[in-house]
Structure 1
Amino acid sequence: MFPQQWNSVHPVFHVCLSEPVKQSCSPNQHQLPPPPVLVVEQEEWEVEQFLDSNLKRGKLWYLVEWKGLSKYPERATWELVSNLTSSPDLFKDFHTLYPDKPGPNTSRV
């Protein structure tokens, strides 16, 4: 039974007053990362964004933040550019934000 003061509230409201449900976690509850995607019978994690790039021994590396793990910056990993084939738009976004960082067109010394 509802409190007496709610008897005057109409039980119907206009759809424009509604909002999508926002999933919230309690402070002690951790969400599990999404499962890896299978690509040609191998697991492949989805890239959230690139955090940095570097040339090491003539090879281009990117510091990768993985989708679903952005709350855990210590889980970012350095990956060879040749291992990151499914994220062409993310390369463009990263180098637009950081044009001076080493990229695919940087001469390798």
Structure 2
Amino acid sequence: MTNLFYADRLRKADDNPLPQQTQTPPPPKKINGKPKFEVEQIEQLRLNGRHKKLQYQAKWKGCDPDETWYSAANFKNAPIVVERFHTEHPEAPGPPVRLQEWIRAAAADEIDENHPDNNKTAKAGTGPIRKKRHL
């Protein structure tokens, strides 16, 4: 017997896969009977549409990168992650108007029902403003 190994038979451990190896994400947790994935961190935000609805891109625990934009209301079960993002990025628009209600509901282990203000931002932000040119 020799110490000869074929490269196609080798692979990294499950907890440290090679980039081309697909990892099956862990099964989602269920909150209120619906599957939910855990938010690792908020990557970025934007104000979308005529009504400037607050949206986030997030990194999900145990999942591949996701470039989908999600409404702020989708993060009401992860208010601490949202608050941390806005603390680290004070120049960014937001936080959501109802963030403190989300934090209170999470601390009391209560369900925060849908509310029309869940996607509204508390402040517009101090980033660059594009002015319209009038011809």
TM-score normalized by structure 1?
A: 0.64
Instruction: Name the counterpart of 1:66.
Output: 60
Deviation (angstroms), 1:43: 1.0
Q: Would you identify which runs of 4 or more consecutive aligned residues in structure 1 move more than 4 Å? A: none
Which runs of no fewer than 5 residues in structure 1 stay unpaired?
Answer: 1-22
* Identity rate, percent: 35
Question: Cα deviations across residues 36-82 of structure 1 (Å, max 9, x unaligned)?
Answer: 1111221111111100111112210011111112xx32x24211011
Q: Counterpart in 1 of 2:68?
A: 77
Give, in whole Å, the separation in 2 of the partners of 1:40 and 1:24.
Answer: 30
* Contact 1:45 1:67 (C-alpha < 8 Å) held by counterparts: yes
Q: Which secondary structure does the structure 2 equivalent of 1:77 belong to?
A: coil
Deviation at 1:30, TM superposition (A): 4.3
1:87 aligns with 2:78: yes
Aligned-residue RMSD, C-alpha: 2.2
Name the counterpart of 1:13: none
**Normalised by the size of structure 2, how large is the TM-score?**
0.53
Alignment of 1:96-107 (within 5 A): 96-103=87-94, 104=96, 105-107=122-124
Among 33, 38, 42, the residue aligned to 1:41: 33
The answer as to whether partners of 2:75 and 2:82 remain within 8 angstroms in 1 is no
What is the total number of aligned residue pairs between the two structures?
A: 83
Unaligned runs of 5+ in 2: 1-13, 97-121, 125-135
Bigger Rg, which one: 1
Distance of 1:34 and 1:97 partners within structure 2: 28
What amino acid is the match of 2:54?
L
